Amino acid sequence: MKANVTLKKLADMLNLSISTVSRALKDHPDIAQQTKDKVQELAEILEYEPNTYAINLRTNKSKEFGVIVPAVSSYFYHSFINSLEEEARRYGYSLMILQSVDDPSIELENLKRCKLSRVAGIFVSISSKTVDIKPFIKVEEQDIPIIFFDKVPDFDTCNKVCVADAAATELAVNALLNKGKKNILAFFGDQNMSITQRRLNSFNNIVGKKNDCEFQLFFAENASKASSIFEETVYKTKPDAIFCMSDELLTGVMKSVQKLQIKIPDDLSIVAISDGFIPQLYYPEIAYAETSGFKLGKLAFNRMMKYLAGHTYAQELSIDSVLINGGSI
């Protein structure tokens, strides 16, 4: 526990002023090269480390972003966070991770926390129950940029980055239709979630144009619901294909597929929307329209940096989706 070495200490030892030392260390043109060398050498030896607290106070900024997500251990978010962290590190930022546990009141607390910590910016995926986004807007008015990602509010004038829900849904469903599937079971998540609505809308659009194909829609909040719905339905309606709008639903369905020893893709085709981890656990690998948390992280970070550079206007961006074929259709 050695005493901290500060600018003042360096200055005293070198018989220089604090300001000169400060400038010397950051290669300010006002300072003579000779002086810079002396200062930097001593700083090196004494392992001088600037006091981040003081810098933050002085500059009223910090090199940290807040990330508010419903949960880190979700199929999607940890790959987003992974990707974000990579970028952040490259730019000298770090990430403060806050979970809302899908609870709007905790979400609000977390937002407050970000504000209190005066983070440089906030990435937030709102909880499924969040209705009031005024607090977010208010924070943004205090000059803390907010990028909404994945689960974004309906509100227009805010920055959003999303996966291409419509495109992904289309890709996935068309993959089935192109193979001539005629009887499709579609699994969707919680109806209250906007992501469900977007994927559902896109789905219905396609369905509307098709009349030589049967569709059956189910809503399941979790994997085991999906499982039981599947098991109840599969023998009754004898579908030739399954669509799952999420990883979680896919795991539910696949568990039943294993249980009932259904042959994929001979007896049944399956396609999902996923970031790719879950689908490759099975044999054959499940075909999926990719919605990469990884790519989304890059995009979100990019948008944040642009924002910080002055492009503060609201913008809605999305990553495109590709179909990864895995032998399940």
Partner DNA sequence: AACATTGTCGCAAACCTTTGAAATAGAAAA
Partner DNA sequence: TTTTCTATTTCAAAGGTTTGCGACAATGTT
Task: List residues binding its own copies (CB under 8 A).
Answer: 1-2, 49-54, 56-57, 60, 62, 64, 71-73, 78-79, 81-82, 85-86, 89, 94-99, 101, 106, 109-110, 113, 115-118, 141-143, 251, 254-256, 258-259, 278, 281-284
Cβ 75 to its own copies shortest distance, Å: 10
Decide which of its own copies, DNA, none touches 46; Cβ closer than 5 to 8 Å per partner kind: none
Decide which of DNA, its own copies, none touches 98; Cβ closer than 5 to 8 Å per partner kind: its own copies
Phi-psi region of 22 (alpha: psi -120 to 50; beta: other; left: phi over 0): alpha
How far apart (Å, rounded) are the C-alpha atoms in residues 259 and 242?
16
Cβ 66 to its own copies shortest distance, Å: 8
Cβ 34 to its own copies shortest distance, Å: 28
Upstream peptide bond of 265 is cis (omega within 30 degrees of 0): yes
Decide which of DNA, its own copies, none touches 211; Cβ closer than 5 to 8 Å per partner kind: none
Decide which of DNA, its own copies, none touches 34; Cβ closer than 5 to 8 Å per partner kind: DNA
Give the angle subtended at the CA of 40 by the CAs of 36 and 44, to the nearest 5°.
175
Decide which of its own copies, DNA, none touches 259; Cβ closer than 5 to 8 Å per partner kind: its own copies
How far apart (Å, rounded) are the C-alpha atoms in residues 194 and 191?
8
Decide which of its own copies, DNA, none touches 16; Cβ closer than 5 to 8 Å per partner kind: DNA
The one-letter amino acid at 198:
R
| Binding residues among 7-36 for DNA as defined by CB under 7 A | 7-8, 15-20, 22-23, 25-26, 30-35
Length of the chain: 329
For DNA, give the closer residue by CB, 36 or 303. 36
What SS3 string covers the chain? CCCCCCHHHHHHHHCCCHHHHHHHHCCCCCCCHHHHHHHHHHHHHCCCCCCHHHHHHHHCCCCEEEEEECCCCCCCHHHHHHHHHHHHHHCCCEEEEEECCCCHHHHHHHHHHHHHCCCCEEEECCCCCCCCCHHHHHHHHCCCCEEEECCCCCCCCCEEEEECHHHHHHHHHHHHHHCCCCEEEEEECCCCCHHHHHHHHHHHHHHHHCCCCEEEEEECCCHHHHHHHHHHHHHHHCCCEEEECCHHHHHHHHHHHHHCCCCCCCCCEEEEEECCCHHHHCCCCCEEEECCHHHHHHHHHHHHHHHHCCCCCCCEEEECCCEECCCCC
Cβ 143 to its own copies shortest distance, Å: 5
For DNA, give the closer residue by CB, 25 or 167. 25
For its own copies, give the closer residue by CB, 81 or 171. 81
For its own copies, give the closer residue by CB, 202 or 256. 256
| 178 contacts DNA (rule: CB under 7 A) | no
Decide which of its own copies, DNA, none touches 258; Cβ closer than 5 to 8 Å per partner kind: its own copies
Site string for DNA, 32-71 (x = CB under 7 A): xxxx------------x-xx--xx-xxxx-----------
Cβ 326 to its own copies shortest distance, Å: 12
For DNA, give the closer residue by CB, 31 or 286. 31
| 112 contacts DNA (rule: CB under 7 A) | no
For DNA, give the closer residue by CB, 34 or 73. 34
Q: How many residues bind DNA (CB under 7 A)?
A: 29
Is residue 91 within 8 A of residue 118, CB to CB? The reply is no
Binding residues for DNA, rule: CB under 7 A, are 4, 6-8, 15-20, 22-23, 25-26, 30-35, 48, 50-51, 54-55, 57-60
